[in-house]
Structure 1
């Protein structure tokens, strides 16, 4: 195996099998667990200023690292359950985003794509 997502998916399958957890890993449950982990990631930044959030100490950075890993692992497990190729899905989504957010229209703006109309060159 050379695909890191495949390798991690295989490892996660083994991990769940060894613990008899596959019975709990329905797509619904994995999606719910993912939101919990994402909230724990947000908690690492709660009440911090923009500057503080970019200048984490070692303990804070370690906690963020762990939560990012938890989020990614749940994403990999969910994708594996649904037979979704994460790398392909990401590349396809990047193409869609490039279409929704043409650089010449959105450069320097944080507005949502629905603000921009086709043919609107502003």
Structure 2
């Protein structure tokens, strides 16, 4: 099996998160307001890891195993709350992202080759 065959899909992860919450009777607390607040807290915890690093240090953050573990955990927490929010609000996150990218491509067109200045 390849890595892509073992890789979880978004719908499966959302289902596991919902089952996890249901088994603990947490669904009453998973309101959009609460999920957005939790998402913000977890995003802030991710920011905290990078807060005082230089740009160069931040680019190397995954080279330290302990820090890399913290970054992966916080990314997972952010994604978990975002996926739960999407499920509660019936948003397909991949469709929403694709639509946003398309809007941004129209709002912020890439410069044409003739518009770029040549570096010498």
TM range (shorter): 0.7 to 0.9
Normalising by structure 2, report the TM-score: 0.83
Instruction: State whether structure 2 residue 67 is matched by structure 1 residue 60.
Output: yes
Structure-2 residue corresponding to 1:96? 103
Which of the numbers 36, 40, 47 marks the counterpart of 1:42?
47
Structure-1 residue corresponding to 2:14? 9
- Runs (4+) of structure 1 exceeding 3 A deviation are none
**Post-superposition offset of 1:100:** 1.3
Normalising by structure 1, report the TM-score: 0.82
Which of the numbers 66, 70, 81 marks the counterpart of 2:88?
81
- 3-state DSSP class of the match of 1:71? helix
Please list every run of 5 or more consecutive structure 1 residues that lacks an aligned counterpart in the other structure.
Answer: 109-122
- 3-state DSSP class of the match of 2:111? helix
Please list every run of 5 or more consecutive structure 2 residues that lacks an aligned counterpart in the other structure.
Answer: 1-7
Q: How many residues align structurally? A: 106
CA-based RMSD: 2.0
